[in-house]
């Protein structure tokens, strides 16, 4: 696999641009899938995402997370976007999603524009995959080519959403197994978790961490003590109080896609237990080494993140490839 590394400037931020051979030659995805049917699709999504992230930088993390939660359930088929109906149980109310996922209206907004230009051509699954790439770039992250040609599923799986998605309090071995199940390696896992360098977490998802072993992993130096005190002020120990209060997972550069999250883990100050486990777990010999590498070498992190996002985006729903569709409205199966 050949790697082309180019540096270019966007808004005075240096953005690495990674171009890879697309893995899996038998995959029905290509870079020019919409060349004749909707040649403006990438430009349309990019332009709208620029507006969306400018309105609120947190929207970048919201879109990336939505893409991740989609691909881990039935593959990248936009099943996560389906609303519940009398005949379909969606994934939005599954425990890993109900208090975590947002951004459905962002997808609706982009889809409406695309449908006005190229009706019934671009799938919601492709839209979400491209948007996640553009979201990453717009907050300082790397560029990568996005293979397209996915179809939208006609089904969703509440059960798989409940079991397949990693949770904030989950142990390292269990999380690794969930990534392996998707065909993703430990290196992929550590790189993809790096997306937590942007975005926020709710109190309900880090309460056990800040009232648990945070003091042990951070060794409670004066800076860590101050940080921990602020977290506890935001998030009371009693369950149910302040559950929806949010704070940045990267408290140093929360709106910039960089390698700061790995420095946070080195200091033992990871907000989520699932993140900190990669560095401090007794089972984390391999993950600890990778975390240290990405903390030291941001280019290595960007390169692997790009590769891993392409790899994750290539997790496909074989059933949808056969009988899938291009939804007119991303929330509902076509009638």
Let me know if 69 is a catalytic residue: yes
Pairing of strands 13-19, 4-10: antiparallel
Residue 282 token pair = 């007794």
Please enumerate, by residue number, every residue annotated as part of a binding site for heme b. 196
The residues near 267 (Cβ < 8 Å, ≥ 6 apart) are 218, 224
Give, to the nearest 10 degrees, the angle between helix 285-296 and helix 186-193: 50
How far is residue 33 CA from its own chain's centroid? 24
Question: How many whole angstroms separate alpha carbon 58 and alpha carbon 203?
Answer: 17
Please enumerate, by residue number, every residue annotated as part of a binding site for Ca(2+). 70, 73, 75, 77, 79, 91, 197, 250, 253, 258
Question: How many whole angstroms separate alpha carbon 135 and alpha carbon 143?
Answer: 10
- Residue at token pair 């941001």: 298
Residue 178 token pair = 């969930």
Pairing of strands 13-19, 200-202: unpaired
Question: How many whole angstroms separate alpha carbon 249 and alpha carbon 125?
Answer: 27
Give the three-state DSSP class for 143: strand
Integer Rg of the chain from CA: 19
| Helix locations, 202-268, DSSP H | 203-210, 214-218, 222-234, 260-266
173 conformational bin, left if phi > 0, alpha if psi -120 to 50, beta if neither: alpha
Other Cβ atoms less than 10 A from the Cβ of 164: the count is 18
Closest CA to 147 of 31, 64, 39: 31
Catalytic residues: 69
């Amino acid at each position: 696999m050949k790697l082309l590394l180019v540096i270019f400037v966007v808004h005075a931020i240096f953005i690495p641009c990674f171009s890879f051979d697309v893995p899996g030659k038998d995959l029905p995805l290509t870079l020019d899938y919409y060349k004749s049917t909707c040649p403006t699709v990438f430009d349309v999504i990019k332009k709208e995402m620029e507006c969306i992230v400018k309105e609120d930088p947190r929207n970048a993390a919201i879109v990336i997370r939505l893409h991740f939660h989609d691909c881990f359930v039935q593959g990248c088929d936009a099943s996560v976007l389906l609303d519940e109906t009398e005949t379909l149980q969606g994934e939005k109310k599954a425990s890993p999603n109900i208090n975590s996922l947002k951004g459905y209206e962002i997808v609706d907004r982009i889809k409406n524009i695309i449908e006005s230009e190229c009706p019934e051509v671009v799938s919601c699954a492709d839209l979400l995959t491209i948007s996640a790439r553009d979201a990453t770039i717009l907050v300082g992250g790397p560029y990568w080519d996005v293979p397209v040609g996915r179809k939208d599923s006609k089904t969703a799986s509440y059960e798989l959403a409940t079991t397949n998605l990693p949770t904030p309090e989950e142990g390292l071995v269990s999380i690794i197994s969930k990534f392996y199940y998707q065909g993703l390696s430990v290196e992929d896992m550590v790189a993809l978790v790096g997306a937590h360098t942007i975005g926020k977490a709710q109190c309900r998802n880090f309460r056990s961490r800040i009232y648990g072993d945070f003091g042990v992993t951070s060794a409670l130096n004066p800076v860590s003590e101050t940080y921990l005190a602020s977290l506890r002020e935001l998030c009371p120990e009693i369950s149910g109080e302040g559950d929806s209060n949010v704070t940045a997972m990267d408290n140093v550069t929360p709106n910039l896609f960089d390698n700061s999250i790995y420095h946070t883990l080195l200091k033992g100050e990871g907000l989520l237990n699932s993140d900190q486990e990669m560095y401090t777990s007794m089972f984390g010999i391999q993950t600890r080494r990778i975390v240290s590498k990405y903390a030291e070498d941001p280019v290595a992190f960007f390169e692997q993140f790009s590769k891993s996002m392409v790899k994750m985006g290539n997790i496909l729903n074989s059933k949808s490839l056969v009988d899938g569709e291009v939804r007119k409205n991303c929330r509902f199966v076509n009638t």
